Amino acid sequence: MPDVMIEAHGLTKSYGRPSARVRVLDGIGLRVARAGVFALLGPNGAGKTTTVRILATLTTADAGTARVAGYDVVADRRRVRRAISLTGQFAAVDETLTGEENLRMMARLTGHSRARSRQRAEELLERFGLTDAARRLVRTYSGGMRRRLDLAAGLVGSPEPGVFFLDEPTTGLDPRSRRELWQVVRDLAGRGATVLLTTQYLEEADQLADRIAVLNKGRIAAEGTPEQLKSRVPGHRLDLVLTTREAYLRLAARAVHHSPGSLTLGLPTDGTAAQTRALLDEIDPQRTDVDRFSLHSATLDDVFLTLTAENAEPADTAEAPARV
Amino acid sequence: MSDTTASAPGFLTRATVMTGRSLRISRRNVDAVITSMMLPVMLMLIFVYFFGGAIDTGSAYDSYVMYVVPGVLLLCAGFGSATTAVAVSEDMKGGIIDRFRSLDIGGTPVLAGHVAASVVRNLVSTTLVFGVALLIGFRPAATPGGWLAVTGVLLAYITALSWISAAMGLLARTPEAAGGFTFFMSFLPYPSSAFVPVDSMPGWLHGFADHQPITPAIESIRGLLLDQPVGNTPWIALAWAAGILAVAVAASGVLFRLRTR
Ligand SMILES: Nc1ncnc2c1ncn2[C@@H]1O[C@H](COP(=O)(O)OP(=O)(O)OP(=O)(O)O)[C@@H](O)[C@H]1O
Ligand SMILES: [Mg+2]
């Protein structure tokens, strides 16, 4: 097995009629090493699902190349499919079958004998804590149970350790189910699997991933270990209540937090008195625009918002606030 | 860990597993199955008891029920096949088709599974219609060879209509639309000799009614069941069914590729 399990260069993809083409991916490059968890973090519409679908051979890129488990996703589609397991964003299990029937069907479809399929289903139900619900229709499962079954179904046939694509595996789950799922992902990685997961939650990426790529508007805005990413944004946020709408609009572009109703903007800062004072002087030399201010420690959400800021230039987003 | 790997299953295994899946699902969607079975039976009763007295089918038939059963059988095939479109469309809408594709299952086995399940469902409902027809006075006089030919023609039409229906499931963007697309299949039997002799229709309809694909099926099933001479009509019916099936299979292959690009 190669050391780099997922490798992509310059992936682009557009959707829509020729007259109204929308570029959904704009030169994505990725390198994911064997074993471990890689998180693709991004807001709605960033292109996470599209990236996963290209890597999982379900759609083709307009330009660029990708290799998964050492095979080209276009030329060697068959081999790639045999090396991967996909759990898509939307549940891919049959609601009117039981959990056990779903798993047995998937096992049969991956070429296991009837007897082996039954055994394999039993193993996975056990491993995902679904043994008690095995004979119930999936329709009656909770969201968390369904997601676990979905993951189990993805594991049925593919040889472990392989490459796992999990598209927003915890979206819509309550905190407890989310934690359970995190454990499942850690177990997978612990067994030597390479996991690429997508998520909208920085906390999740932080908890699970060895490396994170922040995807925004079809580009990689930043990439690195969770620590590296966190160090690239300032640790504090200065919240300003402004006096006029003009001042609000003038400064909105620099803010990482917006609340137009109360004319409040949050600007990144390192939290030192010197920098805070300088920042206030710089943005409000006449001392008329800022009514009140407060200082907060930056949350993970601020980091994410900074990296995916609406008007930010891709790639060097993280440095921009530091120059303030 | 090598025991978890397995070689890719052949087409037959994949299609069989998919058929089992579709059958299980339809067994649990009892309402839908019962509706598609009850409709033809109700229509048969309505035609026989409400309209039958007013329809003149000529002296060759003792009673209207002797005339109308083949039409109801075809109607039944239309209704029964229509559910295939909805089932295929549901698959395409959900994430399951992505998973099947990532397992290299391919579109044809998935569709073949839906069609095979549809054929099984239709055999059940056809039997039911036959049973009710016998109860209300239908007395077939077919020879053993005739029965075989009737079964053959019905099976061929059910398969062809189901596969057309599957193709429509791929064409429709939503399951609701898919249900609507198949509507016309349930109506194709009306402008034919299914319920009233073509001679009684307005002249401009004769051309269509005499040459549309349902007519040879109805004519041959009626003739075979009543042991009347049918000439080469069964062969024409089979040729139509084969043609429709070929077009449906080809079209669904193309549609599947377009939908999963
Ligand atoms: N088949 C398609 N046809 C047209 N547009 C599409 C198609 N698939 C995706 N898009 C568009 O591509 C963009 C990116 O979609 P994608 O599903 O990859 O985003 P995402 O990051 O997964 O978002 P989310 O968090 O909402 O799942 C969106 O604007 C979406 O509307
Ligand atoms: Mg998505």
> For A67-117, how does the pLDDT look when each residue is reduced to its tens digit (9 = 90+)?
999 999 999 998 898 889 899 888 889 999 999 999 999 999 988 999 999
In this predicted structure, the answer to whether residue B188 has a pLDDT above a threshold of 90 is no
Counting from 1 in the atom list of ligand 1, the atom nearest the Cα of A48 is: 21
- Give A50 Cα–ligand 1 centroid separation in angstroms: 6
Ligand nearest to the CA of A15: 1
Write down the mean pLDDT value for chain A: 86
How large is the greatest C-alpha to C-alpha distance in chain A, in angstroms?
A: 80
Nearest to B28 among A93, A96, A109 (CB): A96
**DSSP H or E segment with residue A24:** strand A22-33
Write down the mean pLDDT value for chain B: 86
Choose which CATH entry (3.40.50.10860, 3.50.50.60, 3.40.50.300, 3.90.1150.10) describes domain A4-97+153-230: 3.40.50.300
What is the rounded CA–CA span in Å between residue A179 and residue A130?
Answer: 16
Neighbours of A78 (CB within 10 A): 12
What is the rounded CA–CA span in Å between residue A225 and residue A38?
Answer: 9
Summarize the confidence of residues B22-29 as an average pLDDT.
Answer: 89
* φ, ψ at A10 (rounded to 5°): 55, 40
Q: Each residue of A118-148: pLDDT tens digit?
A: 999 999 999 888 999 999 999 999 888 898 8
What is the rounded CA–CA span in Å between residue A127 and residue A130?
Answer: 8
pLDDT at B243: 96
Question: How do A163-167 and A4-15 pair as beta strands?
Answer: unpaired
- CB contact under 8 Å between A105 and B14, yes or no, is no
Summarize the confidence of residues A215-219 as an average pLDDT.
Answer: 90
Q: Tokens 């679908």, residue?
A: A53
Summarize the confidence of residues A25-52 as an average pLDDT.
Answer: 92
Which positions in chain A touch B1 (Cβ < 8 Å)? 159-161
Question: What percent of chain A clears pLDDT 90, i.e. is strictly above it?
Answer: 48
pLDDT at A159: 60
B93 touches chain A (CB under 8 A): no
- CB contact under 8 Å between B6 and A116, yes or no, is yes
Cβ pair B1, A192 in contact under 8 A? no
Residues with CB under 5 A from ligand 2 (ion): A 48-49, 89
B78 versus A105: which is more confidently predicted? Answer: A105
Which positions in chain B touch A59 (Cβ < 8 Å)? 260-261
Which of B52, B105, B241, B70 lies closest to B164 in space, CA to CA?
Answer: B241
Ligand nearest to the CA of A53: 1
Q: What ipTM describes this predicted complex?
A: 0.84
In this predicted structure, the answer to whether residue A321 has a pLDDT above a threshold of 50 is no
Q: How far is B27 from chain A (nearest CA, A)?
A: 9
Side-chain half-sphere CA neighbours of B36 within 13 A: 28
Residues paired with residue A87 on neighbouring β-strands, in sequence order: A166
In this predicted structure, the answer to whether residue B23 has a pLDDT above a threshold of 70 is yes
Question: How do A163-167 and A84-87 pair as beta strands?
Answer: parallel
pLDDT at B182: 82
Counting from 1 in the atom list of ligand 1, the atom nearest the Cα of A25 is: 14
A237 versus B236: which is more confidently predicted? Answer: B236
User: What would the DSSP string read from start to end of A217-240?
Assistant: TTEEEEEE-HHHHHHTS-SEEEEE
Q: What are the percentages of helix, strand and coil residues in chain A, rounded to 5?
A: 40, 30, 35
Which positions in chain B touch A76 (Cβ < 8 Å)? none
Q: How far is A147 from chain B (nearest CA, A)?
A: 12
What dihedral do alpha carbons B227, B233, B238, B240 form, nearest 10°? -140
What is the rounded CA–CA span in Å between residue B213 and residue A143?
Answer: 48
Nearest to B21 among A88, A105, A159 (CB): A105
Closest CA to ligand 1's atom 25: A44
B6 touches chain A (CB under 8 A): yes
Summarize the confidence of residues B42-67 as an average pLDDT.
Answer: 79
Alpha helices (H) along chain A: 48-55, 77-83, 99-109, 114-127, 143-155, 175-190, 202-208, 226-231, 245-252, 273-283, 300-307
Summarize the confidence of residues B48-60 as an average pLDDT.
Answer: 75
Q: Which residues line ligand 1 (CB under 6 A)?
A: A 15-16, 24, 42, 44-50, 89, 200
Give the mutation target among A48, A62, A196 for probing the ligand 1 site: most ligand atoms within 8 A of CB.
A48
- CB contact under 8 Å between A160 and B1, yes or no, is yes
In this predicted structure, the answer to whether residue A324 has a pLDDT above a threshold of 80 is no
Closest CA to ligand 1's atom 4: A15
pLDDT at A171: 84
Which positions in chain A touch B24 (Cβ < 8 Å)? 96-97, 101
pLDDT at B180: 84
Closest CA to ligand 1's atom 29: A45
- Lowest-pLDDT range of A305-314, B51-60, B169-178: A305-314
pLDDT at A319: 34
Which of B87, B140, B137, B91 lies closest to B117 in space, CA to CA?
Answer: B87
pLDDT at A163: 92
- Give A47 Cα–ligand 1 centroid separation in angstroms: 6
Query: With bands split at pLDDT 50, 70 and 90, how would you rate the model's confidence at A312?
Result: very low
Q: Each residue of A197-211: pLDDT tens digit?
A: 999 888 888 889 999
Query: With bands split at pLDDT 50, 70 and 90, how would you rate the model's confidence at A301?
Result: low
Domain-by-domain residue ranges, chain A?
4-97+153-230, 236-297
- Give B106 Cα–ligand 1 centroid separation in angstroms: 24
What is the rounded CA–CA span in Å between residue A108 and residue A128?
Answer: 19
Q: Each residue of B198-215: pLDDT tens digit?
A: 778 888 888 788 888 888
Question: What percent of chain B clears pLDDT 90, i.e. is strictly above it?
Answer: 35
- pTM reported for the whole predicted model: 0.81
Nearest to B104 among A78, A137, A159 (CB): A78
